[in-house]
Structure 1
Amino acid sequence: MSAPRRRRPHRGRAPRARATRGRSYVGERYEATAGPIAHGGHVVVRVPSQVEPVGTRVVFVRHALPGERVLVEITEGSEGDRFWRGDAVEVLEPSPDRVAPPCPYAGPGLCGGCDFQHVALPAQRELKAAVLREQLSRLAGLDVAVTVEAVPGDEDGLRWRTRQRYVSLPTGRGMRKHRSHDVVPVDDCRIARPDAREPGSGTVVEQVAAAGVEHTFEVAADGFWQVHPGAPTTLVEAVLEMLEPRPGESVLDLYAGVGLFSAFLADRVGAGPSTGGRVVAIEGDRGASALSAANVPSAEVAAGDVAAVLAASYDEPFDLVVLDPPREGARRPVVEAVVARTPRAVAYVACDPAALARDVAIFAEHGYHVAGLRAFDLFPMTHHVEAVGLLTPVGR
């Protein structure tokens, strides 16, 4: 798990400035029925359009649920855009899955951090599962059953963020609006733990107990570490269960961060010259890589771009591979470098369903298929979902 790779998007990130393409429709309102959930926390809505060719225009709408009749206000969109964005500013016919948001700062024009505060928690997980299924179907041609599992450590979807960044205001602190630099004053973020810390300098210590073993990790205070308290244990145990590492095996841990997976894998394979097992941890961030060398002294640690390191070294066969790439995924050069090492199993830890599906499709070109998939609700109240996929050669 890495340092400043920015796997998670900045909450409330503003859109890139772009030229208006014809007449702006911002502020216009339409009554419409919400369609299916889309990747990114929106539902798909179609509204009438007089722009040639006359018909309907796709709008990605926040704060709605599939099947609801809503009043949509356009927040981004002009004549020449392929699609528009909007908010459901009034719900005319609510879904049975709609609830009152537990956070008073959630809703149109307010804090942009949470996408699903208006959705019952079981339905949130169903929506995330639907997105993961759709991305795997559309981008990888797979029909995969998906269940998004709850993870211990939150309070009914709240109070799970162990680190939280606020915007300082003259009278307190706040959070940014969705796709905006504007700030909403917030006295208490409902998904943050009361003792959540803001990123700072230096290092902190994290302890993880998984599969009957406990390890301690030194992590940069401003580096990457999973923010849900149950995430490290959950992900480690899922990876170990899927890979079934054996004593004496060799493992490549790619995008290894500070060595979370490497530490537990080293235990299982018996990494070290006297035991015959081997763990190689490759991480692009040099600070995180240095920490992984200290956290997992039995591993071989290499700092550098993963694709570049694999192109120049470690070209021998490996039994197992862990992939935990940033949001954009591993991409073709890394996937092809992995399959060239003929592992018997690959565990792919994914924070983005589309990136996972694209990389799975590349694995399939080289004879690897999805032999298992689990998904975890590590980010309740948001659209984000974490998945762990097992890839093995076809026929195994």
Structure 2
Amino acid sequence: MAEDALVTAAPGTVVGPVDVGAVAHGGHCVGRLEGRVVFVRHALPGETVRVRLTDTSHDRFWRGDAVEVLRADPARITPRCPVAGPGMCGGCDFQHADPSTQRELKASVVREQLSHLAGLDLDVVVEELPGGMFGWRTRMAYVAHSGRSAMRVHRSNDLIDVPSEGCPLAVPAQPDPHALAAALPDTDEHALRVVTDWSGTSTVMIDGVVTQGPQDLVEHAVERDWRVDADGFWQVHPHAADTLVGAVMEGLAPQAGERGFDLYCGVGLFAGALSAAGVQMWGVEVDRRAIELAGENVPEARFTAGRVDRLLRRMPRSTDLVVLDPPRTGAGKDVVDAVADRNPRAIAYVACDPAALGRDLGRLRRQGYELSSLRAFDLFPNTHHVECVAICVPA
């Protein structure tokens, strides 16, 4: 493609050949076209592809989808889902790669983000969870329109209908989303959410209102039941809660009589496990309904509703253990500094975003803490998402 044509290329233009480089954070690989960076989805490192541009609004980079593979990587496979691909459902980034390669790509992203943002040089392995690559997602969000259920196209408001057999990521116990959508007026779009607990009980929400099933569901993890608001937070993979609690408990090695904070505690999962080990726990969470349920789930612990950064100012000036399980944006400077100022003997950081983890670990290192262990888990097969548990101790 000539340089003047390249400069004026519009979304929808097919360009190439593009040589695809390393995977990057966000579910794409880095390609280059006549000196310009192109973030390419649905490609694999080392491939040569033609790219349909989807975003040319930035001077320094463009975005696009690999629509023709000229030289394929041996790890490339045919996606099981007919709408997992360029210009279609935005839910699966890596379904075109075999399972072991997916985990290698995620490990590479974690390794690069921790190196770049925290100055850590680590050998990262992403661990597989039981249950396989499909049928694991217990919480599904759709758009109901014209009597059909649909998903959003990546970085777009456009819709792509869910296959007639349903989304292959959803747990089999969930009701048919097309049947649910067909029962709604087809003149408007509706937010359709389906949540299924460990027993197979499902709750259906239309535009945020429960229309079928209970408002509170019951999950089971670490040998106890947990009441969870159907519209609240709980890990979407059936084995995630036990996996993450196991990693946190192994890393912290709690001792009876110690004190601990569970920050961003949700319905009390980590506080419950640590309380059972004899730790005096105080959980903090901004969601008041989650705090109410945490108090019922773990009556032996203390829970307070409010913003973590503000409540930490009123909490004890010392503690033995801290669990941080922040939202995707991370804990941030104020929370990290406040945690480090309390001199805990160990901090467990549970992270769903490698970049946020890297930033916060870098901050902890500057505050006198070092990473003692890191485990990464494939909690979200066929997507670019990965969950990490980092254990930090005083340097």
TM-score by length of 1: 0.87
Distance in 2 between residues matched to 1:371 and 1:96, nearest whole Å: 36
Deviation at 1:176, TM superposition (A): 1.1
Q: Does residue 207 of the first structure (1) align with residue 215 of the second (2)?
A: no
User: In the alignment, which residue of structure 1 is the partner of 2:183?
Assistant: none
User: In the alignment, which residue of structure 2 is the partner of 1:97?
Assistant: 75
Distance in 2 between residues matched to 1:333 and 1:215, nearest whole Å: 34
Distance in 1 between residues matched to 2:291 and 2:123, nearest whole Å: 36
* Matching residue within 141, 145, 150 for 2:128: 150
Listed one character per residue, the Cα deviations across residues 20-69 of structure 1 (whole Å, up to 9, x for unaligned) are xx845322222111000000010000102xxxxxxx11111000000001
Listed one character per residue, the Cα deviations across residues 255-284 of structure 1 (whole Å, up to 9, x for unaligned) are 000000111100102xxxxxxx41000011
Write out aligned runs for 1:189-268 (5 A).
189-196=167-174, 197-198=194-195, 200=205, 201=210, 202-209=215-222, 214-268=223-277
User: In the alignment, which residue of structure 1 is the partner of 2:136?
Assistant: 160
User: In the alignment, which residue of structure 2 is the partner of 1:32?
Assistant: 18
Listed one character per residue, the Cα deviations across residues 290-347 of structure 1 (whole Å, up to 9, x for unaligned) are 1111111111111100000002x11321000000000000001000110111100000
Deviation at 1:81, TM superposition (A): 2.4
Q: CA RMSD in A?
A: 1.2
* Matching residue within 80, 93, 113 for 1:135: 113
* Matching residue within 133, 146, 165 for 1:170: 146
User: In the alignment, which residue of structure 1 is the partner of 2:352?
Assistant: 351
User: In the alignment, which residue of structure 2 is the partner of 1:180?
Assistant: 156
Distance in 2 between residues matched to 1:323 and 1:208, nearest whole Å: 19
Q: Is the 8 A contact 1:215 1:263 kept in 2?
A: no
Distance in 1 between residues matched to 2:51 and 2:139, nearest whole Å: 34
Q: Secondary structure at the match of 1:161?
A: coil
Distance in 2 between residues matched to 1:163 and 1:139, nearest whole Å: 32
Q: Letter of the 1:207 partner, please give it.
A: H
User: In the alignment, which residue of structure 2 is the partner of 1:288?
Assistant: 290
Distance in 2 between residues matched to 1:44 and 1:25, nearest whole Å: 19
* Matching residue within 31, 41, 53 for 2:27: 41
Q: Letter of the 2:28 partner, please give it.
A: H
Gaps of 5+ in 2: 1-6, 175-193, 196-203
Q: Letter of the 2:256 partner, please give it.
A: P
Q: Does residue 60 of the first structure (1) align with residue 39 of the second (2)?
A: yes
Distance in 2 between residues matched to 1:73 and 1:280, nearest whole Å: 51
Q: Percent identity?
A: 53
Q: Letter of the 2:216 partner, please give it.
A: T
Q: Secondary structure at the match of 1:81?
A: coil
User: Greater shift after overlay, 199-208 or 124-133?
Assistant: 199-208
Distance in 2 between residues matched to 1:65 and 1:25, nearest whole Å: 24
Q: Secondary structure at the match of 2:316?
A: coil
Distance in 1 between residues matched to 2:351 and 2:90, nearest whole Å: 23
User: In the alignment, which residue of structure 1 is the partner of 2:365?
Assistant: 364
Gaps of 5+ in 1: 1-21, 49-55, 270-276
Listed one character per residue, the Cα deviations across residues 96-141 of structure 1 (whole Å, up to 9, x for unaligned) are 1100111111111111110001000000000000000000001111
Deviation at 1:354, TM superposition (A): 0.3
Distance in 2 between residues matched to 1:167 and 1:366, nearest whole Å: 45
Deviation at 1:366, TM superposition (A): 1.1
Structure scoring higher RCO (CA < 8 A, sep ≥ 6) equals 1
Listed one character per residue, the Cα deviations across residues 217-260 of structure 1 (whole Å, up to 9, x for unaligned) are 11010111101000000001110000000010001000000000
Distance in 1 between residues matched to 2:98 and 2:146, nearest whole Å: 35
TM-score by length of 2: 0.87
Deviation at 1:170, TM superposition (A): 1.7
Distance in 2 between residues matched to 1:389 and 1:63, nearest whole Å: 30
Q: Letter of the 1:167 partner, please give it.
A: V
Q: Does residue 71 of the first structure (1) align with residue 50 of the second (2)?
A: yes
Q: Secondary structure at the match of 1:180?
A: coil
* Matching residue within 288, 298, 301 for 1:299: 301
Deviation at 1:216, TM superposition (A): 1.0
Q: Is the 8 A contact 1:132 1:146 kept in 2?
A: yes
User: Greater shift after overlay, 194-203 or 29-38?
Assistant: 194-203
* Matching residue within 90, 98, 108 for 2:86: 108
Listed one character per residue, the Cα deviations across residues 342-369 of structure 1 (whole Å, up to 9, x for unaligned) are 1000000000000000000000011101
User: In the alignment, which residue of structure 2 is the partner of 1:7?
Assistant: none
Q: Is the 8 A contact 1:32 1:47 kept in 2?
A: yes
Write out aligned runs for 1:322-333 (5 A).
322-333=323-334
User: In the alignment, which residue of structure 1 is the partner of 2:384?
Assistant: 383
Q: Does residue 316 of the first structure (1) align with residue 317 of the second (2)?
A: yes
Q: Secondary structure at the match of 1:146?
A: coil
